[in-house]
Chain A
């Protein structure tokens, strides 16, 4: 009897763990149950839609996004409410999903057909999800849209895979160099414009309790995002990092760590951490984006800082950040596209982008004095000319992993920059099937 009880306990334990280990399975089971109810309700909505003409019932759409905080939620809600005000028969519900869960929920939702109608998606992930079949091909609809020529080429290209359009850019950002004006003038340095100047300046700015510069270099997409400008500036590209240029980019950042001008902790810092370090005066310069401006104003209202283009090696370079509005392949593609076009219409976009710390992905809106005449924002506007998208490639997440892993290895001093760059190249070649 005891034996049997023990056996049962064991079985329960071990199997319980499988559910956990292969969380995809476990989750998809639970989602399947919810899907059932979802399909019921969406079936109900379809009947609603068909009945709409007579009873004016509303079509309900769902929008998933991962921006944290009530303030940002309200800004998204303002967009959906604004759309409903113009189109009373369509209602869009914004749903917040934490970034850490976002990709998982999308992948699981895709397998279980439990998906929203519109997804706010990180621009380098767009191609991967388009390849997975998450998004609808909206090429024809977009071709008929007169405004399409107004978009910057970088953000626009991130919405296209194999010549087909799957999304519309929501807003953009890029990276620039923030510097603490007081610390620079105390140390007698001017904002660096080249790598050599940066290295000297960072050294001069490093003293007790302060390091010269901080970046975010964790072993994930965020690390890749922050590393790409260096890589591009040295003359390498994401699919050609194994040469001398790539090694130089890796080596330069490692030099900053070896000089003591940059903390080793950067491999654990997120961009928000970097901002906090900068706000509290623990780093004199940082690489960060325009979305930190409102944060800096709250965290360090008295801090005097300047913004400059990232120092260059061969050429100025930055990386394109920002999100796209992915149109999910489902019953409400038409309404979803219409909503995306509404969001990107000049007046709506201008207000939204200002409140959101975004740089507009449209040239005509970006020419607005708000961006063009503001000393701080102008840098990011200039940068849009240098900012390059990540990928687009459906296997970008794997490529990104190879790039950021090599970065962390180099920063930790395990292996030389050359070897790590070569190793990354070998992995990337394999991913690209070369």
Chain B
């Protein structure tokens, strides 16, 4: 038991962090909500009256349609990226958990795509997938199909972004899953072998269930990270062609800093916040359920 004295000390020690959170986290959230309820635009951002419009900005954004497009785009993009990254990352993690020559070094090499700044990756992919880039060259010269205008046709543009982001995200998935794998005791596999389990059974019955905590946090982290995609899209497609790859983040940015509709930009950012908040709650709920069932 903590003594009364210690309890007070404890509270005092928490104060700096609390103030930090209030100021740097709480204040922006509250202020952003406030901003989204006003009508602040180019005419009144620094002087003049900023009328209160309630949910008017949200209503207008949903009616105008691009916000809905951007939500759908972001969800498609996020889910596709997560699924691909997870499967490939898991495959890599399993591969590199075996000890073979160069395993360590190869794993290091795979990390490169995670280490590159997203801006560089975006430019690289923009270059590779451009009309006369290496991808189209390969397709036509290897007679795999006809020339595709990757970045300027709606669906291929989205596919390009998903490929690029999957490439970026694989190492992150791999590392987290590798860490998860190392926590599984080796002797479980031994006893499973003695019981006559084959490799596939070991994977489905042992590896996956034991990786569950790692997988949960990986999926949630991955979801949040992927959902917030920004530089990649801004540079590779700028949300185009005609909003076909417009994400929530790039749309909020466009509203605020390209069209100077500051309040609508804040509203779009808040919608994004709410979606991620729900994902967060869902994660907490899953963790809690897991703990209850395991205890």
Residues of A within 8 A of B (CB): 2-3, 6-7, 10-11, 13-15, 17-26, 29, 103-104, 107, 110-111, 128, 131-134, 218-220, 263-265, 267-268, 282, 394-395, 397-398, 401, 405, 408-409, 412, 414
Q: Which A residues lie within 8 Å of B125 (CB)?
A: none
A282 CA to B130 CA, complexed, in Å: 14
Binary contact track B35-64/A, C-beta < 8 Å → 1, others 0? 100000011011100000000000000000
Whether A412 touches B46, Cβ cut-off 8 Å, given contacts A19-B25, A20-B230, A218-B238, is no
Asked whether A131 lies within 8 Å of B42 as measured between CB atoms, the reply is yes
Q: Which A residues lie within 8 Å of B257 (CB)?
A: 24, 103-104, 107
Asked whether B45 lies within 8 Å of A25 as measured between CB atoms, the reply is no
Binary contact track B261-293/A, C-beta < 8 Å → 1, others 0? 110011001101100110010011001100100
Shortest A53–chain B CB gap in Å is 33
Q: How many A-B pairs fall under 8 Å by CB?
A: 157
Name the CB-closest residue of B to A105: B257
Asked whether B151 lies within 8 Å of A132 as measured between CB atoms, the reply is no
Asked whether A133 lies within 8 Å of B131 as measured between CB atoms, the reply is no
Asked whether B28 lies within 8 Å of A26 as measured between CB atoms, the reply is yes
Q: Which B residues lie within 8 Å of A219 (CB)?
A: 238-242
- Indicate if B81 sits at the interface (CB-CB under 8 A): no
Among A3, A20, A21, contact of B288 (Cβ-Cβ < 8 Å): A3
A20 CA to B149 CA, complexed, in Å: 32
Residues of B within 8 A of A (CB): 21, 24-25, 27-29, 31-32, 35, 42-43, 45-47, 126, 130-132, 149, 151-154, 220-221, 224, 227-228, 230, 237-243, 248-249, 252-253, 256-262, 265-266, 269-270, 272-273, 276-277, 280, 283-284, 287-288, 291
A11 CA to B224 CA, complexed, in Å: 12
Shortest B130–chain A CB gap in Å is 7
Shortest B235–chain A CB gap in Å is 9
Among B21, B237, B242, contact of A405 (Cβ-Cβ < 8 Å): B242
Q: Which A residues lie within 8 Å of B45 (CB)?
A: 107, 110-111, 132-133
Q: Which B residues lie within 8 Å of A22 (CB)?
A: 28, 32, 252, 265-266, 269-270, 273
A133 CA to B257 CA, complexed, in Å: 16
A14 CA to B273 CA, complexed, in Å: 7
Asked whether A14 lies within 8 Å of B224 as measured between CB atoms, the reply is yes
Among B31, B152, B154, B291, contact of A265 (Cβ-Cβ < 8 Å): B152
Asked whether A24 lies within 8 Å of B46 as measured between CB atoms, the reply is no
Whether A21 touches B43, Cβ cut-off 8 Å, given contacts A107-B260, A219-B242, A265-B149, is no
Whether A18 touches B42, Cβ cut-off 8 Å, given contacts A13-B221, A24-B266, A29-B24, is no
Shortest A36–chain B CB gap in Å is 14
Asked whether A25 lies within 8 Å of B32 as measured between CB atoms, the reply is yes
Q: Which A residues lie within 8 Å of B272 (CB)?
A: 17, 21
Residue from the set B130, B131, B261 with the largest chain A CB neighbour count within 10 Å: B131
A401 CA to B251 CA, complexed, in Å: 13
Shortest B233–chain A CB gap in Å is 13
Residue from the set B29, B42, B256, B270 with the largest chain A CB neighbour count within 10 Å: B42
29 pairs across A/B with beta carbons < 8 Å? A6-B287, A13-B221, A14-B273, A14-B276, A14-B277, A17-B273, A17-B276, A18-B25, A18-B273, A19-B28, A20-B230, A21-B248, A22-B266, A22-B269, A22-B270, A25-B31, A25-B32, A29-B24, A104-B257, A111-B46, A264-B131, A264-B152, A267-B152, A268-B237, A397-B259, A401-B259, A405-B243, A412-B241, A412-B242
The 10 closest A-B pairs by CB, nearest first: A22-B269, A21-B269, A25-B28, A265-B131, A133-B46, A15-B25, A104-B257, A10-B280, A22-B32, A14-B280
A29 CA to B269 CA, complexed, in Å: 17
Whether A268 touches B240, Cβ cut-off 8 Å, given contacts A21-B269, A22-B266, A104-B257, is yes
A412 CA to B237 CA, complexed, in Å: 14
Shortest A239–chain B CB gap in Å is 17
Q: Which A residues lie within 8 Å of B276 (CB)?
A: 14, 17
A219 CA to B157 CA, complexed, in Å: 15
Q: Which A residues lie within 8 Å of B256 (CB)?
A: 23-24, 107
Asked whether A268 lies within 8 Å of B242 as measured between CB atoms, the reply is no
Name the CB-closest residue of B to A5: B287
Residue from the set A19, A134, A414 with the largest chain B CB neighbour count within 10 Å: A19
Asked whether A17 lies within 8 Å of B261 as measured between CB atoms, the reply is no
A347 CA to B240 CA, complexed, in Å: 45
A360 CA to B152 CA, complexed, in Å: 37
Shortest B13–chain A CB gap in Å is 15
Residue from the set B28, B35, B221, B252 with the largest chain A CB neighbour count within 10 Å: B28
Asked whether B42 lies within 8 Å of A103 as measured between CB atoms, the reply is no
A7 CA to B258 CA, complexed, in Å: 36
Q: Which B residues lie within 8 Å of A408 (CB)?
A: 240-242
Q: A25-B28, A131-B42 are in contact. List 19 more A-B contacts (CB 8 A).
A: A10-B283, A10-B284, A17-B228, A19-B28, A21-B272, A26-B28, A103-B257, A107-B256, A107-B262, A111-B46, A131-B43, A219-B238, A220-B238, A265-B149, A267-B240, A395-B42, A398-B259, A405-B242, A409-B242
A19 CA to B258 CA, complexed, in Å: 19
A395 CA to B43 CA, complexed, in Å: 9
Q: Which A residues lie within 8 Å of B283 (CB)?
A: 6, 10
A6 CA to B257 CA, complexed, in Å: 35
Q: Which A residues lie within 8 Å of B151 (CB)?
A: 265, 268
Name the CB-closest residue of B to A398: B259
A21 CA to B271 CA, complexed, in Å: 10
Q: Which B residues lie within 8 Å of A128 (CB)?
A: 42, 260
Shortest A115–chain B CB gap in Å is 10
Whether A268 touches B287, Cβ cut-off 8 Å, given contacts A14-B280, A18-B32, A24-B266, is no
Q: Which B residues lie within 8 Å of A19 (CB)?
A: 24-25, 28
Q: Which B residues lie within 8 Å of A11 (CB)?
A: 280
Name the CB-closest residue of A to B239: A219
Shortest A52–chain B CB gap in Å is 29
Among B132, B230, B258, B269, contact of A103 (Cβ-Cβ < 8 Å): B258
Shortest A166–chain B CB gap in Å is 14
Shortest A20–chain B CB gap in Å is 6
Q: Which B residues lie within 8 Å of A394 (CB)?
A: 42-43
Q: Which A residues lie within 8 Å of B259 (CB)?
A: 397-398, 401
Among B35, B152, B252, B280, contact of A412 (Cβ-Cβ < 8 Å): B152
Q: Which A residues lie within 8 Å of B32 (CB)?
A: 18, 22, 25
Shortest B279–chain A CB gap in Å is 8
